[in-house]
Amino acid sequence: MKRVLNVTNSGGCRTFFLTVFAFALIVGNGGSGLAATIIKVSLITPEGSAWTNLLHKLADEVKKQTSGEVVFKVYAGGISGDETDVLRKMRANRIHAAGFSGVGLGILLPEIRILEAPLLYRNYAEVDLIKQKLQDEFAANFEKKGFVLLGFAEAGFVYFFSKVKMTGPQGFQPLKMWVWRGDPVAKTSMEAFGIKTVPLHLTDVNTGLETGMINAFYSPPLAAIAFQWYSKVRYVLDYPMVNSTGAFIIQKGIFNRLPDGHKLILRQASAKFCDTLVQLARKENAEALEVLKASGIEFETPTDNQKQLFLESAQKIYTTNTGKLYSSELFQRVQEILKEYRKTSESRY
C-alpha cells in the first residue's frame, strides 16, 4: 500500500515550514541568523580622495570581521550636505556616522576647538600629545551628547592661499578670505589678523573664487588640491597657522545596538583607520606642498611685522575663546602639558 501524507496535522506542517523558512534565512545571511546592521556614513571629501578610499577599506574590514552583520553605506563628496546638515541628519537618524572637521565637532563639543588654537602647537608631536592626554575626556563628553568617538583624524596644518600677494605694502588688506559658514572660530581668527572674511559653504568655495566673491582661502595643502581650489590662486603664505583637527564619530544609539563583539571590532578597526588616515594625511600634505610649488604657485615668506602680528593676535584669540569655547582651566592645562613637554624635548638636544 501507498503511504499517504496526513496533511490534517496542521501543527506539524506549520512547524516544518517555519523550520525550512528559518533555515533559508540563516543560509541567506551567511549562517549568522542576524540581519545586517546598515551604518550610513557621510564624508565631505570626494570619492577617490585618501580619506574616502580609506573609509571604503574600513567598511570592507568591518563587514568581513563581523561576517556581514555590520555594513557601511558610504555617502561621500558632500552629497549629504555640509557638516551642519550632516549633524541634523544624524539627530534625525538619517545618517549614523561621519567624519567631521573641527567645525562640525565644535558644534557638538565647543571645547574640542582647543585643538585648533592658532600657533599653539609647534609640530605634529605636540598635537598628538594633547590628543592623547584629552581623548578620554573628549570621548566622555561626546557620549553625554549622544555620540561615540571612534578616533581622531586631521586634515593637516592650514596655510593661507590667495590670488593676490599677501606680503606686499598693503599686506592682508586686499584679501577677501573665505571662512566656513557657521564657524565663528575661523571668522574671529581671521578678523584678529585684520583679514576681511566672506562666509560660504564649503561647496561654494570654487564658485566664490571664480566669480571674485572671494580671492583667498585657508586650507591644508592636500585639501586645496583635492577640492581643486589651488588652480584658482597664485600665492601661498609659507607659514602654517593651525592644525585642522577631525574625528570619526557614530550615533550612540546605533552603536549600542551592536553586540559587544561587534562594538569591539568597530572600535579597533576605526582606531586603525584613524591612525592610518593621520599618517597618510601628513605624508600626502608634505607631497602636496611639492606639487603646489611645481604648479607655479609662489610661496611667500611673511614679513617680520606679519609674524609679530600673528603672535599678538593669537594671544587675543585665546582670550576671546577662553570661557566661550573652552574653559580657562582646560586652556591652562594644555599650556602646562606643552610647557613640560618642550622642556623635556629641548633637553635632548
Closest by CA to 266, choosing from 165, 166, 149, 159, is 149
Asked, for residue 304, whether it belongs to a domain, the answer is yes
Separation CA 89–CA 11 (nearest Å): 47
Domain count, the chain: 1
pTM given for the model: 0.84
Asked, for residue 286, whether it belongs to a domain, the answer is yes
Asked, for residue 246, whether it belongs to a domain, the answer is yes
Separation CA 61–CA 56 (nearest Å): 9
129 SS3 class: helix
Asked, for residue 144, whether it belongs to a domain, the answer is yes
Closest by CA to 72, choosing from 47, 40, 99, is 40
- If you search the block for the grid coordinates 546598515, which residue do you land on? 38
Closest by CA to 188, choosing from 305, 279, 72, 324, is 324
Asked, for residue 335, whether it belongs to a domain, the answer is yes
What is the pLDDT at residue 348?
46
Closest by CA to 252, choosing from 19, 2, 24, 39, is 39
Separation CA 137–CA 140 (nearest Å): 5
Asked, for residue 55, whether it belongs to a domain, the answer is yes
Asked, for residue 251, whether it belongs to a domain, the answer is yes
What is the pLDDT at residue 34?
57
Separation CA 112–CA 211 (nearest Å): 34
Cell triple for residue 97?
A: 556616522
pLDDT in tens, the chain (349 residues): 433 334 344 444 443 333 333 333 333 343 444 579 999 999 988 888 878 999 999 999 999 999 999 999 999 988 999 899 999 999 999 999 999 999 999 999 999 999 999 999 999 999 999 999 999 999 999 999 999 999 999 999 999 999 999 998 899 999 999 999 888 889 899 999 999 999 999 889 999 999 999 999 999 999 999 899 999 999 999 999 999 999 999 999 999 999 999 999 999 999 999 999 999 999 999 999 999 999 999 999 999 999 999 999 999 999 999 999 999 999 999 999 999 999 988 654 3
Separation CA 75–CA 53 (nearest Å): 12
Phi, psi of 33 (to 5 degrees): 80, 0
> Residue 211 belongs to a domain with what CATH number?
3.40.190.170
Say if CB 101 and CB 155 are below 8 A apart: yes
Cell triple for residue 28?
A: 541567506
Domain that holds residue 342: 16-346
Asked, for residue 11, whether it belongs to a domain, the answer is no
| Strands in the chain per DSSP E | 37-42, 70-75, 97-101, 147-157, 159-162, 176-180, 196-200, 216-219, 235-237, 243-251, 298-300
Q: For the chain, state the CA radius of gyration.
A: 25
Separation CA 330–CA 249 (nearest Å): 22
